[in-house]
Amino acid sequence: MHSKEVEIVNATGLHARPAAEFCKRASQFIADITIKKLGDAPKQGNGKSVINVMTLCLGRGTNIEICADGEDEIIAVETLAALIQSGFGEA
């Protein structure tokens, strides 16, 4: 298992378009991917499910942990973390 903590930087957080983009990218990997909302009210969901990601209510400034378990776990986590850190072109 590989994981990395990142902060949501785009102004609108992971609303519909960025959540869909995140899940589309996550679905390209074989590894199981989990996204965890950190903080006072921690939650987690399937990183390949748009519904799961959107129900986490990941706004700007939210810290998350991206976890992957599988043969391509390292590249999956690093790719998805870079996508979050890029702000989906909105930051």
Burial of 78 by CB count in 10 Å (0-12 exposed, 13-18 middle, 19+ buried)?
Answer: middle
For residue 83 the two structure tokens come to: 């996508």
90 pLDDT above the threshold of 80: no
**What six digits make up the tokens of 58?**
């990941």
User: Does residue 87 sit in helix, strand or coil?
Assistant: helix
Range of the domain at 37: 2-89
Give the model confidence (pLDDT) of 41-67 as tens digits. 899 999 999 999 999 999 999 999 999
For residue 91, pLDDT beyond 60: no
20 Cβ neighbours under 8 A, 6+ residues apart: 50
pLDDT per position as a tens digit, 15-42: 999 999 999 999 999 999 999 999 888 9
**Residues labelled catalytic:** 15
Q: Which structure tokens are listed for 27?
A: 């679905």
CATH number at residue 63: 3.30.1340.10
Total domains, the chain = 1
